[in-house]
Structure 1
């Protein structure tokens, strides 16, 4: 196997292949024939996975060994009506789902496969993004408010002053911020007359992206108004301990459950709750799994044991750490969330989560706004054109700073620019910003859990950059483990669906999935140098705090 390298001047990443023995120490010695027989059988079964993300939709068809055999992806429109506002067209999202399914199936058939061998479909989706529609007609009443949207900053300040605000995190695992679905729904009720009218008349349906897609895939079947526990845990309406809607939480946000149709909360893996596809080439195929995107990535990385962790470098960056069957409410700026819930008498599994608002979107900013690069994958080449960041630190606080800082009034700021600063320095600083925030999150997780992570599994677009992953290993001081097939979010949704229809029955059966040709990035700088870099980052974070004073913040939001 060829060891990958990049052209970085300063530190050439040399990831090493991860040995198969690292994964199968507990396997029987003479089981090669049995494994081959299982693999042959599993390659006869297929699972479709709808992956509806922040900037694109894709449909991937996996075989029973977890390998993608056909796929299609479409980007969709990002709507920014005002500064800090971020919306999506609900109908465009549905259109991209349908077209991706159609195009991927054409490729699937072209390769000689039979649609009848697709046993189920799973769904994974961007979380917190909030939709409302008329329950009588199924028509949306407003654009979807996307998860990074910050129009609710003023509302959040008001809610923090409301009686009972201090008790929310203990029940939901989430701090009051612009992030969860609850504040987005309250804003819609307060500012959109059509939404308020539907609410007063009892015909307002609320849901996150999963609920919206499932409702329409089932032909607008009013009986399929559901969400899974991972998505429900991001609304602030669900009690993390009971995994049910909580009347006190709804009352805090002044939501009358008799006037609004809230989706039923069901396990992430279930053969019946999600219905089946009503129209098109997959008509009649069961939808059997649903997970919020970050939970899906943890499942796709086989993070089934407490202490497992993954980091997904997408539009934002999300690190999940499996804490087991009891939620851990963070005292260090992290979120507590449901990792996955596979039903069938199993208890839900929980995670600590740290969220970085800007990861891949920082690269897109350099490309689209500043014209530094023509394609996002060129970021590594540009960053590798210099030996280091040249003293630049880029705090990419485009929407404030998320975990573990939670600084709403920060703005994106570049420190250390001199007349010698080049585009490559800023490119490096952009990649490093995500890595520094990941380090801060890992430190907080260690404090909350009492355990130090020994290895970090990674996926998502920015993980394709050897330079970025080597930088990440250097900054956190532990190995970074990258799979060859990095569609782990889609794979997680497929695994949830496959469990529901008995393609797999136990987690141990998944130990071989997506383990071939993984790469390990070992730290290659001293702990002292790493600490110096992180200290400078911390200083930059403190300097960007309070960029807007109270009056300016009110005017902007």
Structure 2
């Protein structure tokens, strides 16, 4: 009977898979840490393939240690560290470089060059110009990894935040998708029109064919066979937005704070964009 749900929580320092019953009650979990790389001061990287292996390992541990089979799993959901950027070759499936993590500051100088565009970027995305977000990371990768420009010109590269990379791997390269919460943290997504913004793609020199399809949080993200039978991937949300829902912050003005690798405060601002005058 398909009456259980697995949540993949892919975080900054570890991957955790959690098992729930159909009422949302916790049943079990498995967790595995992975390596952090600091090649230069202010640079932070992860190995995307190692992240993928920790996802596989924790999924299989969860199933084995609880005596389950894939036929009992109704759906898999994904929540993830946001902004962390992966580019991979869609023909080989191989990343062209390590994942550049949200904490990474290597694009600080480029961000300063963009200050004249700050008002437009803020209006379109709700974000301030900062190395934190994905856009400048993608720009850096395309301009600093040997052969990346040629591969992107040929349409051979795909970009994604961690959720997108995991969906692509789980579906064996069938689905290149993300959700609105992760898209909104790239500094490429227009939160008014709810689409990738062509003007911003031109500004950051990013080909649109690299970008994933943007879907609602609860959507058909495909099926995976990694546990020996077909399981639907039914939901995706960035970790901090997922935590907001987890804390039942459903009303306008509700706020949650999460203390993990960083401290993150998220507020429910309702169904219309609210622009901070204080760079929040």
| TM-score category (smaller protein) | over 0.9
Offset at residue 181 of structure 1 (A) = 0.2
Q: Is the 8 A contact 1:268 1:289 kept in 2?
A: yes
Query: Which stretches in structure 1 are left out of the alignment for 5+ residues?
Result: 1-43, 335-557
Q: Which residue of 2 aligns with 1:329?
A: 275
Structure 1 segment 194-209 matched on structure 2, within 5 A: 194-209=147-162
Offset at residue 115 of structure 1 (A) = 4.3
Offset at residue 246 of structure 1 (A) = 1.1
Among candidates 189, 205, 209, match of residue 254 of structure 1: 205
Offset at residue 333 of structure 1 (A) = 1.6
State yes or no: 1:146 paired with 2:101.
yes
Offset at residue 211 of structure 1 (A) = 0.5
Distance 1:254 1:220 in 2: 25
Structure 1 segment 45-444 matched on structure 2, within 5 A: 45-109=3-67, 115-161=70-116, 164-221=117-174, 224-257=175-208, 260-270=209-219, 272=220, 274-281=221-228, 283-334=229-280
Q: Which residue of 2 aligns with 1:480?
A: none
1:72 is paired with a residue of what secondary structure? strand
Q: Deviations over 1:393-448 (max 9, x none)?
A: xxxxxxxxxxxxxxxxxxxxxxxxxxxxxxxxxxxxxxxxxxxxxxxxxxxxxxxx
Query: Which stretches in structure 2 are left out of the alignment for 5+ residues?
Result: none
1:155 is paired with a residue of what secondary structure? helix
Structure 1 segment 19-58 matched on structure 2, within 5 A: 45-58=3-16
Distance 2:131 2:59 in 1: 33
Q: Is the 8 A contact 1:123 1:210 kept in 2?
A: yes
Q: Deviations over 1:67-103 (max 9, x none)?
A: 2212100000001101100000010000000000000
2:269 is paired with a residue of what secondary structure? strand
Distance 1:91 1:183 in 2: 22
Q: Deviations over 1:185-231 (max 9, x none)?
A: 1111121122222112221111110000000000122xx10000000
Offset at residue 328 of structure 1 (A) = 0.3
Q: Deviations over 1:215-254 (max 9, x none)?
A: 0000122xx1000000000011110111111111112212
State the TM-score, normalizing by the size of structure 1.
0.49
Q: Deviations over 1:261-319 (max 9, x none)?
A: 2100000011x2x10113333x3010000000001101111111112111111101111
2:224 is paired with a residue of what secondary structure? coil
Structure that is richer in strand per residue: 2
Runs of 4 or more, structure 1, over 6 Å off, are none
CA RMSD of aligned residues (A): 1.5
Distance 1:116 1:68 in 2: 19
Offset at residue 114 of structure 1 (A) = 5.5
Q: Deviations over 1:319-345 (max 9, x none)?
A: 1110111010111121xxxxxxxxxxx
Distance 1:241 1:261 in 2: 22
1:138 is paired with a residue of what secondary structure? coil
Distance 2:53 2:207 in 1: 32
Q: Is the 8 A contact 1:70 1:107 kept in 2?
A: no
Distance 1:114 1:209 in 2: 26
1:167 is paired with a residue of what secondary structure? helix
Structure that is richer in helix per residue: 1
Distance 2:226 2:103 in 1: 33
2:38 is paired with a residue of what secondary structure? coil
State the TM-score, normalizing by the size of structure 2.
0.96
Distance 1:92 1:255 in 2: 26
Q: How many residues align?
A: 280
Q: Which residue of 2 aligns with 1:344?
A: none
